[in-house]
């Protein structure tokens, strides 16, 4: 099996890595793949306590799959196709779900939307009579760190 190599520059700052290369899921775990791609100029890093890992008897709660997920980026296009009255009815619910500042960031695509957040937005629109299939402004496949 070919081991996936992760470009360490994309690993989130202070991402907790795993040193357990003997784990049965090591070849598909982002924490292990990040550790393997750490560069020698990295002075300090965050790791999951190996002593804690040794006590685990079942599924590892720290496991993060290297399968990419589909994030949505922005939904200005959806809003532009709605009548003003419908926008006025929906936006308060979206702001309530995300908070005012985050709402503007996700609307513009500055912050990506997870699958569950996309579904939440679809549900809000559906509750307000929009049964059309919602297409977000763009989609990005990336790791779920």
Q: Tell me: the pLDDT tens digits for 82-131?
A: 999 999 999 999 999 999 999 999 999 999 999 999 999 999 999 998 88
Share of the chain above pLDDT 70, in %: 97
- Domain assignment of residue 78, given as a range: 69-143
Number of structural domains the chain divides into = 2
Give me the pLDDT at residue 36, please: 92
pLDDT at 2 over 60: no
My answer on whether 74 and 125 are in the same domain is yes
Do 45 and 111 lie in one domain? The reply is: no
Distance CA 128, CA 40 (A): 54
Whether 117 contacts 71, CB under 8 Å: no
Same domain, 17 and 73: no
Mean per-residue pLDDT of the chain: 92
Q: Which of 73, 74, 75, 78 is nearest to 142 (CA)?
A: 73
Q: How big is the CA angle at 68 (ends 65 and 72), to the nearest 5 degrees?
A: 130
What are the contacts of 106-111 at 24+ separation with CB within 8 A? 106/74, 106/75, 107/74, 107/75, 107/76, 107/79, 108/74, 108/76, 109/73, 109/74, 109/76, 109/137, 109/138
Q: How confident is the model at residue 58 (pLDDT cuts 50, 70, 90)?
A: confident
Containing 138, the helix (H) or strand (E) segment is strand 138-142
Judge if 44 and 86 occupy the same domain: no
Do 132 and 76 share a structural domain? yes
34 and 79 housed in the same domain = no
Q: Would you say residue 98 lies in a domain?
A: yes
81 and 123 in a single domain? The answer is yes
Q: Residue 133: is its pLDDT beyond 90?
A: no
Q: pLDDT over 90 for what percent of the chain?
A: 78
Residue 124 pLDDT: 95
Q: What is the mean pLDDT of residues 22-44?
A: 92
């Amino acid at each position: 099996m070919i081991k996936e190599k992760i470009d360490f520059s994309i690993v989130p700052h202070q991402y907790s890595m795993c040193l357990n290369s003997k784990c049965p899921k090591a070849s598909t775990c982002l924490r292990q793949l990040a550790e393997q791609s750490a560069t020698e100029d990295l002075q300090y890093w965050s790791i999951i306590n190996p002593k804690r890992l040794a006590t685990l008897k079942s599924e590892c709660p720290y496991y993060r799959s290297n399968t990419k997920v589909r994030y949505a980026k922005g939904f200005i296009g959806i809003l532009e196709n709605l009548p003003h009255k419908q926008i006025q009815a929906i936006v308060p619910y979206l702001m309530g779900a995300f908070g005012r500042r985050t709402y503007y960031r996700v609307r513009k695509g500055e912050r990506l939307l997870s699958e569950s957040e996309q579904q939440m937005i679809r549900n809000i629109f559906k509750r307000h009579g929009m049964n059309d299939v919602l297409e977000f402004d763009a989609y990005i496949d990336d790791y779920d760190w």
